[in-house]
């Protein structure tokens, strides 16, 4: 099996796992990953994470020309914005996960640091998550908003829509977006209960120890 075929299988395996655990639903969400030759494999438009076919993934060459597979997701501007601004990005995942979407609707979340510092793991895997405004699905303005961050964030939350995370590879991106959803769920479960959070010194220790990107 070639490296690209292994990647195709991995994308579909991880997407199905996300779907089967209710982290996205129906035909929502999209996923992409860099191929060994610098191109992209992308989930097709209107496809279901639970039923992706490795052979039908959209294939782009290194110049981002669509050269094979089904028509790609309409969120391509969002994906390419991460690849163009984050040189280390090897994959991008976008979900419509319920708890993070619910948290994005609440009036008092911090747009610059969407997730409260409840556990070390969101800090370590995501850094700060930027909450972006509401956009029409497929609106190229989403990509422009990500480009406006100049590569300083690996994760954003689209208000009333869903999270988007870039990682060094497809497994890392999926792990990180799962951590985002789990932290959002914790935030909702503990809302109004005055939970004990990580303090600034503890966050700084994590940032330093694990070399986390953390723009001030």
Rounded to whole angstroms, the maximal C-alpha distance in the chain is 53
Residue 74 located in a structural domain: yes
Torsions phi, psi of 155, nearest 5? -145, 140
* 216 occurs within a structural domain: no
Domain for residue 182, yes or no? yes
Q: Is residue 215 part of a domain?
A: no
pTM of the model as a whole: 0.96
CATH no. for residue 138?
Answer: 3.40.225.10
What dihedral do alpha carbons 160, 161, 166, 167 form, nearest 10°?
90
- The residue behind tokens 């094979």 is 68
What positions carry a catalytic annotation?
Answer: 75, 121
Give the number of other CB atoms < 10 A from CB of residue 153: 23
The pLDDT of residue 209 is 97
- Digit-coded pLDDT (tens) for 90-133: 999 999 999 999 999 999 999 999 999 999 999 999 999 999 99
Average pLDDT, the chain: 96
Kindly provide the residue ranges of all beta strands, DSSP E only, lying in 140-184, ordered along the sequence.
155-158, 162-167
pLDDT tens track for 5-50: 999 999 999 999 999 999 999 999 999 999 999 999 999 999 999 9
User: Can you give the residue range of the structural domain that contains 93?
Assistant: 3-209
Domain for residue 49, yes or no? yes
Total number of domains constituting the chain: 1
3-state helix, strand, coil in the chain (%, to 5): 40, 15, 45
Q: Is residue 214 part of a domain?
A: no
Rounded distance between C-alpha atoms, residue 176 and residue 172, angstroms:
6
Q: What is the pLDDT of residues 66-86, one digit of tens each?
A: 999 999 999 999 999 999 999
């Amino acid at each position: 099996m070639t490296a690209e075929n292994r990647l195709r299988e991995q994308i579909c395996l991880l997407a199905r796992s996300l779907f089967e655990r209710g982290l996205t639903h129906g035909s929502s969400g999209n996923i992409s990953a860099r191929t060994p030759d610098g191109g992209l494999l992308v989930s097709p438009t209107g496809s279901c994470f639970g039923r992706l076919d490795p052979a039908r993934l959209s294939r782009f060459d290194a110049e981002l020309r669509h050269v094979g597979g089904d028509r790609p997701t309409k969120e391509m501007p969002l994906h390419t914005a991460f690849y163009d601004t984050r040189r280390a990005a090897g994959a991008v995942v976008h979900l419509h996960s319920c708890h993070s979407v619910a948290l994005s609707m609440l009036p008092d979340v911090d747009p610059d640091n969407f997730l409260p510092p409840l556990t070390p793991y969101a800090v370590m895997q995501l850094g700060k998550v930027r909450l972006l405004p509401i956009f029409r699905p497929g609106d190229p303005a989403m990509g422009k908003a990500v480009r406006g961050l100049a590569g300083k964030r690996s994760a954003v939350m689209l208000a009333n829509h869903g999270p988007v995370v870039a990682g060094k590879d497809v497994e890392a991106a999926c792990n990180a977006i799962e951590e985002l959803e789990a932290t959002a769920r914790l935030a909702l479960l503990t809302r109004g209960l005055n939970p004990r959070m990580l303090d600034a010194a503890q966050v700084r220790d994590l940032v330093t120890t694990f070399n986390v990107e953390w723009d001030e």
